[in-house]
């Protein structure tokens, strides 16, 4: 047999062996690869995973004011809103280093993958740092600068190929990068539809400890105050109950509700508002507590029994039923705002002894 014929026969043998050998399934391997790619490029909730590396990079940046490598830039982006070093310092609250970081990130636009990764870290920092409520002036200003930076590059990021899920989600919810970020969601939330909350958590990795969740609550309160009386009044009790679950928002939210309630035609006592206001700001006629009330609803506010019924009429009713002390056992408050807060029990007018009043009114 000549060499060519021998070679041909050998090829036939090899082909026969291959055809009789089962083709291995690559389904599991492909699924694992797909998951790794999604984790690497598509999951907004994923951080760098190297917390020690982040801490070292941030501390070095705070000390030396330099970002020599892409790795340093990326790590500082993910650690920009967290405190590091001695004394504890946040890069976002630094007068010069934060702007330097944004400049370094901006220069990575020619390398889309690197820019996108740094953008992801900055976005996580933006959502976590309470810029709107921060008392740190530099931190608040830098947070606004960060918001502008993210908004400026949001559309371009979405146009990069492949389009990542979190980048598309941010573009869909780009109102988060503007004033009144949660206003578009308020109407649905007031109606009991919390779909948007689930979407923000799933697509943008927004956690309960971000400022977004607080803004979602305040957006509902602000939306309710824009309703007419008939639509607003049924919202008061559930909104107060919602605010009571967020201790950091109760003061601001309650003040908004009180001011709106003052504008209602019906000024009958509202027990829920009354109890919430007294819990937060205590008895309004005590000099020590007046600043708490004035700071929220204004010293010159013209309230006439906004949340409490006029005590004069209440005690007039009690005087007619001297044996019924149910009303007398209840804390009754009357607020009248002109130039100051005051309370009157009208004991003499009702024919009830002052001594008896002192025992039956609980302040």
Global pTM? 0.72
Whole-number pLDDT of residue 347: 38
Of the two residues 166 and 163, the one the predictor is more confident about is 166
Whole-number pLDDT of residue 172: 95
Model confidence at 228, pLDDT cuts 50, 70, 90, reads: very high
| Span 87-129, pLDDT tens digits | 999 999 999 999 999 999 999 999 999 999 999 999 999 999 9
Is residue 51 over pLDDT 70?
yes
Is residue 275 over pLDDT 60?
yes
What percent of the chain clears pLDDT 90, i.e. is strictly above it? 50
Residues 6+ apart with CB under 8 A from 287: none
Using the CB atoms, write b or e for 174-196: b if 16+ within 10 Å. Answer: eebbeeebbeebbeebbeeeeeb
| Span 289-340, pLDDT tens digits | 777 777 777 754 544 445 455 444 444 454 455 554 444 434 444 343 333 3
| Range of lowest pLDDT (4-13, 19-28, 33-42, 167-176) | 33-42
Q: Give the start-to-end residue ranges of the domains of the chain.
A: 51-176, 261-360
User: Shortest CA distance to 176 belongs to which of 131, 141, 139, 136?
Assistant: 131
Whole-number pLDDT of residue 47: 57
What mean pLDDT comes out for the span 199-213?
91
């Amino acid at each position: 047999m000549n060499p060519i014929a021998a070679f041909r026969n050998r090829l036939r043998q090899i082909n026969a062996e291959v055809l009789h050998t089962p083709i291995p399934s690559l389904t599991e391997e492909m699924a694992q690869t797909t998951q790794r790619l999604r984790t690497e490029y598509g999951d907004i909730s994923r951080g760098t995973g190297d917390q020690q590396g982040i801490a070292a990079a941030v501390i070095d940046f705070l000390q030396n004011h330099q970002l020599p490598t892409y790795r340093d830039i990326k790590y500082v982006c993910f650690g920009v809103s967290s405190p590091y070093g001695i004394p504890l310092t946040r890069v976002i609250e630094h007068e010069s280093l934060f702007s330097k970081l944004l400049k370094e990130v901006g220069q990575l636009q020619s390398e889309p993958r690197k820019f996108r990764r740094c953008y992801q870290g900055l976005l996580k920092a933006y959502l976590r740092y309470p810029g709107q409520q921060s008392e740190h002036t530099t931190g608040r200003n830098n947070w606004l600068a960060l918001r502008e930076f993210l908004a400026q590059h949001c559309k371009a990021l979405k146009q990069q190929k492949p389009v990542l899920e979190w980048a598309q989600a941010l573009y869909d919810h780009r109102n988060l990068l503007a004033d009144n970020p949660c206003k578009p969601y308020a109407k649905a939330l007031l109606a009991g539809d919390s779909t948007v909350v689930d979407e923000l958590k799933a697509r943008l990795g927004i956690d309960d400890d971000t400022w977004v969740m607080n803004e979602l609550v305040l957006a509902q309160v602000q939306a309710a105050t824009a309703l007419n009386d008939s639509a607003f009044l049924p919202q008061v009790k559930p909104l107060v109950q919602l605010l009571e679950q967020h201790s950091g928002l109760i003061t601001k939210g309650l003040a908004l509700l009180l001011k709106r309630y003052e504008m209602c035609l019906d000024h009958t006592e509202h027990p829920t508002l009354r109890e919430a206001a007294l819990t937060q700001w205590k008895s309004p006629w005590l000099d020590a507590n007046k600043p708490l009330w004035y700071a929220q609803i204004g010293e010159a506010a013209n309230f006439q029994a906004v949340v409490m019924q006029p005590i004069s009429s209440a005690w007039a009713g009690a005087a007619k039923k001297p044996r019924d002390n149910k009303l007398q056992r209840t804390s009754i408050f009357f607020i009248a705002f002109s130039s100051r807060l005051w309370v009157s029990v009208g004991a003499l007018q009702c024919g009830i002894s002052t001594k008896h009043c002192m025992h039956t009114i609980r302040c």
